[in-house]
């Protein structure tokens, strides 16, 4: 009997856990579907709402406010347990989706996207807390593996399904389906987690600070400031050139100063191995996300491709991502392997960006563009796990939490800044070719960092 007990404890799917697992996977799948689908439907949505100038901000809005949601969600869960922030975060996310569905114009749509970022950021953290409390430690890694699968399937199918729905029905149907599915999934999750946790787990006893100061905290205030500066950067594209350039300059300097505090010391100056890895992930993530965002717009607005075709092209990047993740897993977790694979990833991202530039500049066939998207995806699929592993291996144990947060927040800020700057460039009347040329230079900076020895 003693020998059989550990086997029972190591089972992931049991009569007690399967309703919780199913609810978490369902909610995460709908969140992931919306995240990938929006890239395909956004050009149609913004054109229908009558102001393509909000395109960049509409995309980056969720990334911008997710910074706030992630910090607030973690502090809130530590202070009062996960149930209340799950309800609040989920409600904000659903309300943001509802606004996107019924939005009569661009401002309402963007407001909905901002709310989705806050609510989704809160719940993304809360789901991890709930998993820690409802799944035993031994099978917990398998649960996190299922979460990865919940993102993988939407990354492959989301852009195509969203494009087909937009072609056959309307772009609002995409957000409507996510709203309905996420509502059912959230209610199911609230039902299966209705049993209260023990007081000591809820973290309720922290009377030394006020409620809101405890929930937001210093990092939360800095995240709010960074989000506000990112909003200012994106709004600058709505202004006339002299004013827009001034706003971009001031907001960029202020954001750099804020990032200098939020990120580990030396990150912006590339001092230290872990710091360079944080910067490299931000550069690679910003390059690929911004390229995909404006490539979708270019294919639909300049080349006349329907959303389904644009979605298929972007889905190729997701296929490359899965391939890169699988291939890198065949190599040992040594610093030598990290260094070699990170460099290869940077080269793949730059190669893909270069093919996108050639496609827009001199008319490369569409199959060449597909190869470019596959290369970018393979680069990111290789880079993400290796950058995370190498960073945690180089950082001291007591800094693991800080660097885990820095990898995500640095990338979020990088994407927000890059999408805003490209929006300003295009607003001046510049061509997509120039925009992708700037992104290729950013990818080149990633290669320089990798060659310099980001993994030491």
Task: Convert the pLDDT of each residue in 60-83 to its tens digit.
Answer: 888 888 878 877 777 777 777 888
Give pLDDT, residue 181. 95
Task: Convert the pLDDT of each residue in 296-328 to its tens digit.
Answer: 989 988 888 888 888 888 888 888 888 888 888
Domains of the chain: 14-218 (1.20.1250.20), 269-456 (1.20.1250.20)
Q: Which residue would you say has higher pLDDT here, 371 or 255?
A: 371
Give pLDDT, residue 99. 96
Is the dihedral angle over the CA atoms 348, 353, 357, 363 positive or is it negative? positive
Helices (H) and strands (E) in the chain, counts: 16, 0
Contact of 384 with 411, CB cutoff 8 Å: no
Q: Does the pLDDT at position 97 exceed 90?
A: yes
Give pLDDT, residue 145. 67
Least confident interval from 96-105, 132-141, 212-221: 212-221
Please provide the distance, in angstroms rounded to a whole number, between the alpha carbons at the two ends of the chain: 49
Cα gap 14→30, rounded to integer Å: 24
> What percentage of the chain has pLDDT greater than the value 70?
88
Least confident interval from 9-23, 161-175, 265-279: 9-23
What is the mean predicted confidence (pLDDT) over 290-298?
Answer: 92
Cα gap 368→345, rounded to integer Å: 19
Nearest Cα to Cα of residue 288 among 413, 443, 431, 450: 443
Q: Which residue would you say has higher pLDDT here, 399 or 37?
A: 37
Least confident interval from 199-208, 244-253, 261-270, 341-350: 199-208
Give pLDDT, residue 399. 73
Nearest Cα to Cα of residue 416 among 226, 208, 133: 226
Give pLDDT, residue 402. 66
Least confident interval from 195-199, 312-316, 339-343: 195-199
How many Cβ atoms from other residues are within 10 Å of residue 14's Cβ? 14
Cα gap 423→433, rounded to integer Å: 13
Give pLDDT, residue 401. 56
Q: Does the pLDDT at position 400 exceed 80?
A: no
Q: Does the pLDDT at position 199 exceed 50?
A: no
Give pLDDT, residue 456. 58
Give pLDDT, residue 73. 77
Q: Does the pLDDT at position 240 exceed 90?
A: no
DSSP structural state of residue 123: H
> pLDDT-derived band of residue 208, with 50, 70 and 90 as boundaries?
very low
- Tokens standing for residue 11: 């089972």
Question: What string of H, E and C letters represents the secondary structure of 93-162?
Answer: HHHHHHHHHHCCCHHHHHHHHHHHHHHHHHHHHHHHHHHHHHCCCCCHHHHHHHHHHHHHHHHHHHHHHH
Q: Does the pLDDT at position 231 exceed 90?
A: no
Q: Which residue would you say has higher pLDDT here, 311 or 209?
A: 311
What is the mean predicted confidence (pLDDT) over 139-154?
Answer: 74
Contact of 432 with 360, CB cutoff 8 Å: yes
Give pLDDT, residue 200. 41
């Amino acid at each position: 009997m003693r020998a059989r007990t550990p086997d029972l404890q190591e089972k992931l799917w049991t009569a007690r856990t399967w309703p919780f697992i199913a609810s978490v996977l369902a909610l995460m799948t709908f969140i992931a579907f919306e995240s990938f689908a929006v890239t395909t439907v956004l050009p149609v949505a913004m054109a229908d709402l009558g102001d393509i100038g909000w395109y960049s901000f509409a995309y980056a809005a969720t990334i911008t406010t997710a910074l706030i949601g992630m910090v607030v969600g973690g502090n809130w869960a530590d202070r009062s347990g996960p149930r209340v922030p799950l309800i609040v975060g989920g409600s904000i996310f659903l309300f943001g989706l509802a606004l996107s569905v019924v939005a009569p114009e661009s401002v309402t749509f963007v407001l909905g996207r901002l709310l989705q970022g806050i609510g989704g950021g809160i719940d993304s953290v809360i789901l991890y807390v709930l998993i820690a409390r409802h799944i035993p430690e031994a099978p917990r890694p398998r649960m996190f593996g299922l979460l990865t699968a919940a993102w993988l399937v939407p990354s492959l199918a989301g852009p195509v399904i969203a494009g087909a729905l937009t072609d056959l029905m309307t772009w609002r149907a995409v957000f409507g389906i996510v709203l309905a599915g996420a509502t059912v999934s959230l209610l199911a999750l609230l039902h299966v987690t209705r049993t209260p946790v023990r007081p000591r787990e809820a973290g309720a006893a922290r009377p030394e600070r006020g409620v809101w100061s405890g929930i937001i905290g210093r990092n939360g205030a800095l995240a709010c400031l960074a989000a506000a500066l990112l909003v200012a950067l994106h709004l600058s594209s709505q202004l006339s050139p002299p004013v827009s350039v001034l706003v971009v300059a001031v907001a960029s300097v202020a954001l750099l100063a804020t990032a200098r505090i939020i990120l580990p010391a030396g990150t912006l100056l590339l001092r230290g191995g872990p710091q360079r890895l944080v910067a490299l992930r931000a550069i690679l993530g910003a390059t690929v996300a911004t390229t995909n965002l404006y490539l979708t717009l270019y294919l639909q607005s300049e080349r006349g491709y329907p959303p389904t075709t644009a979605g298929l092209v972007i889905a190729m990047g997701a296929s490359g991502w899965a391939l890169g993740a699988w291939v890198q897993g065949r190599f040992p977790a040594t610093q030598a392997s990290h260094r070699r694979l990170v460099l290869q990833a940077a080269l793949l991202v730059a190669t893909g960006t270069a093919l996108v530039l050639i496609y827009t500049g001199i008319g490369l066939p569409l199959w060449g563009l597909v190869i470019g998207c596959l290369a970018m995806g393979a680069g990111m699929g290789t880079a993400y796990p290796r950058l995370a592993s190498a960073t945690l291996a180089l950082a001291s144990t007591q800094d693991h939490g800080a660097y885990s947060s820095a990898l995500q927040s640095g990338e979020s800020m990088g994407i927000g800044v890059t999408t805003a700057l490209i929006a300003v460039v295009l607003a001046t009347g510049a061509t997509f070719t120039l925009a992708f040329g700037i992104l290729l230079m950013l990818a080149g900076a990633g290669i320089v960092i990798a060659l310099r020895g980001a993994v030491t």
